A and B are shown apart, each in its own frame.
Chain A
Amino acid sequence: MAVLTEEQSMLRDSARDWVREKAPVTAFRKLRDGAAPLGYDPAAFAEMAAMGWAGVVIPEAYGGSDFGYLSLGLVLEEMGRTLAASPLIASSLAAASALVLGGTDAQKQAWLPRIAAGEAVATLAVDEGARHDPLQTGLSAAPAGGGFSLTGSKTFVLEGMAADLFIVAARTSGARGEADGITLFLVPADARGVTREKRTLADARGYAAVSFDGVDVGAKAVLGAVDQGYPLLERVLDRARAGLAAEMLGMAVQAFETTLDYLKTRVQFGQTIGSFQALQHRAAKMFTELELTRSCVEAALSAIDAESPDTPQAVALAKAAAGDTLHLVSREMVQMHGGIGMTDAHDAGLYLKRARALETTFGSTAWHRDRWGRMAGY
């Protein structure tokens, strides 16, 4: 655990207490079993927002606390522990960052206070295929009547069913695969021509496929510069990826602790199975990977706060490390629990499924490893 300020310690402790009391795994299970339409509980998110968690990276002038990314990471880590579902990453982290980094004052005024208050949910609409690849943006934004007309579709949009605002990556020039020619647009979900359909993945969260069929937006809907949205998008995505890594770290820590408890209580051959060295060494390996991963995640969040030029590389390392470690721990969670770990009644499967969904979101482990390597000269 990084050396925290007093405020950060308090934030983490309050998140830990709240999550345990109000959002245990049973709460997520209830949402899943009830096929909650948004994939999260709006009343619970309202409570989080009331505690200020939706405004952690938003400046005070726009209703936030400007506490920084490491601070938000602490909250996300606690949420990850119990699989607490909320639009914190999609809206309070990713979309809020996009507006903070690229928005005009009018755009910020219009959306940030509502995002900070939890009154509006915003999200990025970037990917158009099964695998993350922002350079492949093809959704077209053609000039129309002083503004633009958007046509195309986006897949697996986080909290896409709940969103009031989509931040859409569109192509204003150039071809798929090119960085130049990508422009970000603010598109309200109720704009004419926007339709969405729920996509149910193994992790039972609120993904949507979103179609844009000749959606007319004004010139003021452009976030940042026309044709030059890609560098901004990358900065925004890196903030989201670091947050995902924090959530993944929290999940891995909890999956490990739950498994460790089981090793200490399950008795076979007259002793706890945790006394078997074959399992002890695998537990030690998981612990080692968790400690290494924590260093990477905290370094990435701190790099963002420090506006370090190394941020992209630090984030790629964090997302890749978190991906590997979470898979290791969630796989072992099932294996070490044996048959009970295969049952739907046990939590292990929930961690296993969510682990895959987070790994593939905004760049898989392999994708980030390659990205890290390119930045390191490989």
Chain B
Amino acid sequence: MADFGGDAEAFRVEARDWLAQNFPPAMKGVDLALTVEEPTGDARLWKARMGAKGWGVPTWPTEYGGGGLTPAEARVLQQEMARIGARNPIGGMGVMMFGPTLLEYGSDEQKQRHIPPIVRGELRWCQGYSEPGAGSDLAALQTKAEDKGDHFLVNGQKVWTSGAQYADWCFCLVRTDPNHKHEGISFLLIDMRTPGVEVRPIKLISGVSPFCETFFTDVKVPKENLVGPLNGGWTIGKRLLQHERNSLSGGGGTAGRFASGTPLDQLAKTYVGVDGEGRIADPDLRSRLIRHQMEAKAFLLTLARAAAESKGNQSPSNATSIMKNAGSKVGQDRAELAIEIMGSQGLGWEGPGFEREELEQVRNWLGGKATTIYGGSQEIQNNIIAKRILGLLDHQ
């Protein structure tokens, strides 16, 4: 541990200097990674500088524009950015899921073509995995890609394609052999501007449309867009899901969701009132809030432990497999407690008579229902723990 600290500490000076010269102070606390509009002014400048430096994806190799930093240096960079309130302007599915997967499985030509625009935050990617008949049983997917000599002809429908209405490209699992379930799937990259691609946003119970249906009708996809071997896409697709799970259960996903907003005890004291001792007046609610806060603390301690263990070069922590279920439970519980505390005010949908936080909580509660469904549902996560970690067999 001691000697890895040395080089990383030397890097701290470099990171601090570069940030001092390149981070526009007006961008303090501003998160660009998930915004849809093209940035302007300081935001545009910050994104361009980080993109050119490759530090939005600090550990990716420099030959494709990445930062080329060691994990220890990347942590130092993160600390230095946090110190001055700088948020990483480079994000999205290209960074979190597709990029790491392509770096592992793509050809050199594919990496040269697709990685640099992700590094610079220029292109948005979406995920073409789920279909109406293939949710948790993803390998049942039917969108087919026929070999037409110099191209694949793609026909079918994807669903829950997050951000498809804004995406430039889609990484897609397609069926290239109808006779083999898992071994008949290929990993294909599709330009969303190709004729025959149609996107329809889906309105959710929370009132927003983060997901789309995406239809492919006689879409011609060049052969060079196949990643990995023909019919070898399932392995690549599963690897990508690991990256997805990690990003969903880490700082950006559910963990962030319940760390924000007014603390529940303050909320409860405001809306429910206090007893003679100054405690939340409803003792049943109080005890459930305490239980929830302790579960949240246990989850945060587990995140920290898993991080420490991976730093300490032990074998990969078993704790990571529980993160998605544990984190999504805490997030959903928090949202339900918040609206319960606020009573009718916490159900405010729109219009006058409601505080901003009240309107947010109701959307947050509804939107959060997705966290135990997407990225492998709660039940699929339990299957994974049972089979991969605990070694229990499939039912025959």
B322 to A321, Cβ gap below 8 A? no
Known: A277-B395, A294-B305, A377-B265. A288 touches B298 (CB 8 A): no
Which A-chain residue is minimally distant from B298 (CB atoms)? A292
**Is A99 interfacial (CB 8 A cutoff)?**
no
Cβ–Cβ contact A272 & B287, under 8 A = no
* A284 lies within 8 A of chain B by Cβ: yes
Contact-residue bracket for chain A: 35 or more
Q: A residues near B, CB below 8 A?
A: 1-3, 260, 263-264, 270-272, 274-277, 280-281, 283-285, 287-288, 291-296, 298-299, 317, 320-321, 369-370, 372-373, 376-378
Chief secondary structure at chain A's binding surface: helix
B294 on the A face (CB < 8 A):
yes
* Pairwise interchain contact A287-B389, C-beta atoms closer than 8 A: yes
B379 interface residue (CB < 8 Å to A): yes
Chain A CB within 10 A, most for which of B280, B295, B319, B387: B319
Whether the pair B299, A264 counts as a contact (CB closer than 8 A) is no
In the bound complex, how far is the Cα of B392 from the Cα of A284, in angstroms? 10
Which of B's residues lie within 8 Å of A, judged by CB? Answer: 265, 279-280, 286-287, 289-291, 293-295, 297-299, 301-302, 304-305, 308-309, 311-312, 314, 318-319, 322, 325-326, 379, 381-383, 385-387, 389-396
Please name 6 further chain A to chain B contacts, defined as beta carbons within 8 Å, in addition to the given A271-B396, A293-B298, sorted by A numbering.
Answer: A2-B305, A284-B386, A291-B302, A369-B294, A373-B286, A373-B290
Residues of B within 8 A of A274 (CB): 392-393
Can you report 5 A-B residue pairs in the complex whose CB atoms are below 8 A from each other?
A287-B390, A293-B298, A372-B293, A376-B265, A376-B293
Measured in the bound complex, the distance between the Cα atoms of B308 and A1 in whole Å is 10
Contact A3 B390 (CB under 8 A): no
**B278 CB to nearest A CB, Å:** 9
Q: For residue A271, which residues in chain B have a CB less than 8 angstroms away from its CB?
A: 393, 395-396
Tell me the complex Cα distance, A260–B385, Å. 13
Query: Chain A residues near B302 (CB, 8 Å)?
Result: 291-292, 294-295
Given contacts A3-B314, A372-B294, contact A378 B393 (CB under 8 A): no
In whole angstroms, how far apart are the Cα atoms of A272 and B314 in the complex?
Answer: 32
Question: CA separation between A122 and B14, bound complex, in Å?
Answer: 57
Closest Cβ–Cβ distance, residue B127 to chain A (whole Å): 25
Bound Cα distance from A123 to B396, whole angstroms: 55
CB < 8 Å: which of A270, A287, A288, A320 contacts B294?
Answer: A320
Bound complex: CA A377 to CA B290 (Å): 10
Cross-chain contact A378 with B265 (CB below 8 angstroms) = yes
Contacts of B386 in A (CB 8 A): 277, 280-281, 283-284
Known: A376-B293, A378-B280. A287 touches B287 (CB 8 A): no
With A295-B298, A369-B294, A376-B293 known to touch, is A3 a contact of B309 (CB < 8 Å)? yes
> Which residue of B291, B305, B312 contacts A298 across the interface (Cβ within 8 Å)?
B305
- The reply to whether A275 and B395 form a contact with Cβ atoms under 8 Å apart is yes
Q: Chain A contacts of B395 at CB under 8 A?
A: 271, 275-277
Query: A300's closest neighbor in chain B, by CB?
Result: B301
Q: Which residue of B lies closest to A277 (CB)?
A: B395
Among A284, A320, A376, contact of B385 (Cβ-Cβ < 8 Å): A284
CB distance from A130 to the nearest CB of B (A): 22
7 residue pairs, one from A and one from B, having the closest CB atoms = A373-B290, A3-B312, A280-B386, A284-B382, A284-B385, A295-B301, A295-B302
Q: Which residue of B is nearest A373, CB measured?
A: B290
B392 contacts A264, C-beta separation under 8 Å: yes
CA distance A1 to B299 in the complex (A): 15
**B326 engages A288 (CB within 8 Å):** yes
Give chain A nearest CB distance to B313 CB in angstroms.
9
Which of B294, B318, B385 has the most A CB atoms < 10 Å from its CB?
B294
State the CA gap A369–B291 with chains docked (Å). 7
- Which residues of the other chain, B, contact A276 by a CB distance below 8 angstroms? 395
Docked CA distance A369–B290 (Å): 7
Q: In the bound complex, do residue A317 and residue B294 qualify as a contact, i.e. CB atoms below 8 Å apart?
A: yes
Residues of B contacting A260 in the complex (Cβ-Cβ under 8 angstroms):
390, 392
Q: Which residues of A contact B385 (CB under 8 A)?
A: 283-284, 287-288
Contacts of A377 in B (CB 8 A): 265
Q: Are B326 and A292 in contact (CB under 8 A)?
A: yes
Task: A1 to B310: give the CA distance in the assembly, Å.
Answer: 11
Taken together as a complex, chains A and B put the C-alpha atoms of A5 and B326 apart, in Å, by 29
In the bound complex, residues from chain B placing their C-beta under 8 Å from that of A277 are: 383, 386, 395
What separation, in Å, do the CA atoms of A123 and B318 have in the docked complex? 37
Closest to B393 in A: A275
Docked complex Cα distance between A377 and B396 (Å): 52
Partner of B322, one of A1, A283, A287: A287
A296 touches B390 (CB 8 A): no
B residues in contact with A264, CB < 8 Å: 391-393
In the complex with contacts A274-B393, A275-B395, A292-B322 CB distance below 8 A:
yes
Name the A residues within 8 Å of B390 (CB-CB). 260, 280, 283-284, 287
Instruction: Say yes or no: A280 contacts B392, CB within 8 Å.
Output: yes
Contacts of A288 in B (CB 8 A): 322, 325-326, 385
Q: Quick one: which of B286, B293, B382 contacts A280, CB cutoff 8 A? A: B382
Q: How far is the CA of A240 from the CA of B71 in the complex (A)?
A: 39
Residues of B with C-beta under 8 A to A291: 302, 318-319, 322, 326
Residues of B within 8 A of A281 (CB): 379, 382-383, 386
Q: Is the CB of B392 within 8 A of A275?
A: yes
Knowing A3-B314, A280-B383, A295-B305, the reply to whether A378 touches B325 (Cβ < 8 A) is no
Cα separation A272 to B279 with both chains bound (whole Å): 51
CA distance A373 to B381 in the complex (A): 31
Do the beta carbons of A3 and B311 come within 8 Å of each other? Answer: yes
How far is A312 from B308 in the complex, measured between Cα atoms in Å? 23
Neighbouring B residues of A292 by C-beta, 8 Å: 295, 298-299, 301-302, 322, 326
- B382 CB to closest chain A CB (Å) equals 4
A377 to B279, CA, bound (A): 8
CA distance in complex: A275, B393 (Å) = 5
Q: Which residues of B contact A272 (CB under 8 A)?
A: 392-393
List A contacts of B379 (CB < 8 A): 281
A251 to nearest B CB, angstroms? 18
Residue in A closest to B309 when the chains form the complex, CB atoms: A3
Q: Which residues of A contact B293 (CB under 8 A)?
A: 372-373, 376, 378
Residues in chain A near residue B322, CB distance under 8 A: 287-288, 291-292
User: How many Å lie between the Cα of A329 and that of B108 in the bound state?
Assistant: 50
User: Which residues on A sit within 8 Å (CB–CB) of B392?
Assistant: 260, 263-264, 272, 274-275, 280, 283
